[in-house]
């Protein structure tokens, strides 16, 4: 991992920039919990170009860093006091996947679930008269031929977009583009988990200000580093979730270099998280209900030089006509960035088989969805 201050094609770590201009306490108490928390990493390693390009641009200008980060008077209207700070879909963000499935089905798209791609192979001069790809599929949704002949089901395709985690893309591309696979397999991920608790109304003595709080990595609980990294007051952030008789809170745990939660089962993790929240929020009694969700490879880590590495991956994969990579590992972990990545990949593969220009790249949205 790059050391603080490492540069790559003009890139620097977020922590290096802020520490040099505003001091280390600002990094530890404000920037690392906020920017590092969003990315489940440490700002001393996170690429400013990939995670906070406005900061990198401001750092290259003379004068006050904070003034440079202020919205430009000509940059559009600044949200007023009545504008919402957070946005979501009515009924929850999970509706996005269902709406997408419905829209694709309406266009005649065939979707297979509960299936994995074991390998992709290039087939020269296929039925279209150009190179095609054959995918080996396994799993309950692979198809009627899977297992019948003792081998995987086979799927022919003109184009392939690998919208999978970097490590899976590396395995699939290793026989075809070893240089790209080598770059993909070293991209790292932070394991994270979310614990949602239903707490009886009136059991929380501390005032719930705002929509939650962040926990600096330097914070301790009971003489040990705090397990939780952030807490969201769900019923305050999303009023439609409010229910009579309880308060919903959601705690995040895990960051790169801290995977203690993986050694706890769901019940133990929920107990540990509630214990810390009880101290912070002065909670009496016990939770009414709890839910634990885990992502062992939750958030890709954009280290200094990340965008330069991604450009090289794209160039190397471009040598395979009709193949592209997409997803959170490349140019943003937020939903808008992932959508943009998928669209850009689709344009690239279509252009590669039709001989046209690939068009524009993906937008650089970077935040985690609320």
Give residue 249's pLDDT: 97
Q: What is the mean pLDDT of residues 297-321?
A: 95
Tell me the residue ranges of DSSP E strands in 90-167: 116-123, 132-138, 153-157, 160-162
Residue 59: per-residue pLDDT: 93
**pLDDT above 60 for 18:** yes
Residue 241 in this model has a pLDDT that exceeds 60? yes
Residues 29-43 have a mean pLDDT of 92
- Residue the block writes with tokens 């839910």: 291
**Res 149 pLDDT > 60:** no
Q: Which residue has the tokens 């692979």?
A: 142
The whole-angstrom separation of Cα 283 and Cα 168 is 43
Most confident of 121-125, 132-136, 263-267: 263-267
Contact 253, 261 (CB under 8 A): yes
pLDDT of 218 > 70? The answer is yes
**What is the average pLDDT across 120-132?**
73
Give the whole-angstrom CA distance, residue 320 versus residue 311. Answer: 15
Confidence of residue 346 (pLDDT cuts 50, 70, 90): very high
366 vs 285, residue with greater confidence = 285
Percent of the chain whose pLDDT exceeds 90: 68
- Give yes or no for a contact between 31 and 324, defined as CB atoms under 8 angstroms apart: no
* Rounded to 5°, angle at Cα 178 from 154 and 337: 80
**pLDDT of 147 above 90:** no
pLDDT, residue 10, reads 86
pLDDT at 151: 58
Is the predicted pLDDT of residue 286 greater than 80, yes or no?
yes
Q: Kindly give the interhelix angle for 178-185 and 166-173, rounded to the nearest 10 degrees.
A: 160
CA-closest candidate to residue 202, choices 284, 278, 271: 284
Identify the residue with better confidence: 355 or 297.
Answer: 297
The answer to whether 185 touches 314, Cβ cutoff 8 Å, is no
pLDDT band at 16 (very low <50, low <70, confident <90, very high): very high
Task: Quote the CA–CA distance of 180 and 193 in Å, as a whole number.
Answer: 30
pLDDT band for 85, please (50, 70, 90 cuts). Answer: low
Give counts: helices (H), strands (E), the chain: 13, 12
Which two three-digit tokens encode residue 245?
């008789």
| Concatenated DSSP letters of 242-302 | -BTTEEEEEEEE-BTTB-GGGGS-HHHHHHHHHHHHHHHHTB-S--SEEEEEEEEEEEE--
Residue 223 pLDDT > 70:
yes
Q: Provide the pLDDT confidence category of residue 360 given band limits of 50, 70 and 90.
A: very low
150 pLDDT exceeds 60? Answer: no
What would the mean pLDDT of 81-96 be, rounded to a whole number? 74
| pLDDT mean across residues, the chain | 87
pLDDT category at 28 given cuts 50, 70, 90 is very high
Classify burial at 79, counting beta carbons within 10 Å of its beta carbon; exposed 0-12, middle 13-18, buried 19 or more.
Answer: exposed
Yes or no: say if 288 and 246 are a contact pair by the CB < 8 Å rule: yes
Query: Quick one: pLDDT at residue 367?
Result: 44
Q: Is 0.75 topped by the overall pTM? A: yes
Tokens encoding 176? 């075809």
Q: Would the pLDDT of 359 be above 90? A: no
- Two structure tokens written together for 80: 């007023």
Using the predicted structure, report yes or no on whether residue 357 has a pLDDT greater than 80. Answer: no
- For residue 268, how many other CB atoms are within 10 A of its CB? 12
Please state, in angstroms and as integers, the Cα–Cα distance from residue 256 to each residue in 2, 308, 363, following that order: 14, 21, 25
Lowest average pLDDT, out of 62-66, 90-94, 216-220, 259-263, goes to 90-94
Q: Is the pLDDT of residue 364 over 50?
A: no
Residue with the bigger pLDDT between 130 and 291: it is 291
Which long-range contacts link 18-27 to residues 24+ away (Cβ below 8 Å)?
Answer: 18/43, 18/55, 18/65, 21/59, 21/65, 22/65, 22/66
pLDDT at 366: 44
């Amino acid at each position: 991992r790059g050391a603080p201050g490492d540069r790559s094609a003009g890139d620097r770590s977020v922590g290096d920039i802020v520490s040099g201009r505003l001091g280390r306490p600002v990094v530890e108490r404000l920037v690392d919990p906020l920017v590092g928390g969003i990315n489940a990493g440490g700002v001393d390693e996170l690429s400013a170009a990939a995670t906070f390009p406005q900061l990198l641009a401001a750092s290259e200008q003379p004068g006050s860093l904070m003034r440079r980060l202020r919205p430009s008077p000509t940059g559009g209207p600044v949200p007023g006091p009545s504008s919402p700070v957070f946005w979501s879909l009515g009924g929850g963000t999970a509706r996005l996947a269902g709406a997408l499935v419905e829209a694709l089905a309406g266009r005649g798209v065939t979707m297979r679930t509960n299936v994995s791609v074991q390998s992709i192979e290039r087939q020269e001069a296929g039925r279209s008269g150009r190179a095609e790809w054959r995918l080996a599929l396994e799993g309950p949704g692979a198809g009627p031929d899977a297992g019948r002949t003792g081998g995987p089901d086979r799927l022919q395709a003109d184009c392939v977009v690998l919208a999978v985690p970097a490590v899976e893309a590396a395995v699939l591309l290793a026989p075809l583009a070893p240089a790209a696979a080598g770059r993909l397999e070293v991209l790292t991920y932070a394991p994270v988990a979310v614990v949602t608790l239903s707490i009886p109304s009136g059991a929380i003595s501390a005032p719930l200000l705002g929509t939650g709080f962040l926990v600096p990595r330097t914070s301790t609980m009971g003489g040990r580093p705090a397990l939780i990294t952030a807490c969201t007051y769900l019923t305050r952030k999303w009023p439609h979730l409010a229910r009579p008789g309880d308060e919903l809170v959601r705690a995040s745990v895990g960051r790169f270099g801290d995977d203690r939660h993986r050694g706890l089962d769901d019940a133990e993790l929920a107990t540990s998280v509630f214990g810390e929240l009880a101290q912070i929020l002065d909670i009496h009694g016990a939770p009414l209900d709890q839910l634990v969700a885990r992502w062992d490879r939750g958030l890709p880590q954009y280290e200094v030089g990340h965008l330069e590495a991604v450009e090289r991956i794209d160039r190397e994969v471009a040598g395979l006509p009709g193949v592209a990579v997409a997803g959170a590992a490349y140019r943003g972990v937020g939903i808008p960035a992932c959508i943009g990545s998928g669209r850009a990949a689709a344009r690239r593969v279509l252009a590669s088989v039709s001989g046209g220009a690939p068009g524009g790249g993906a937008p650089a949205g970077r935040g985690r969805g609320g």
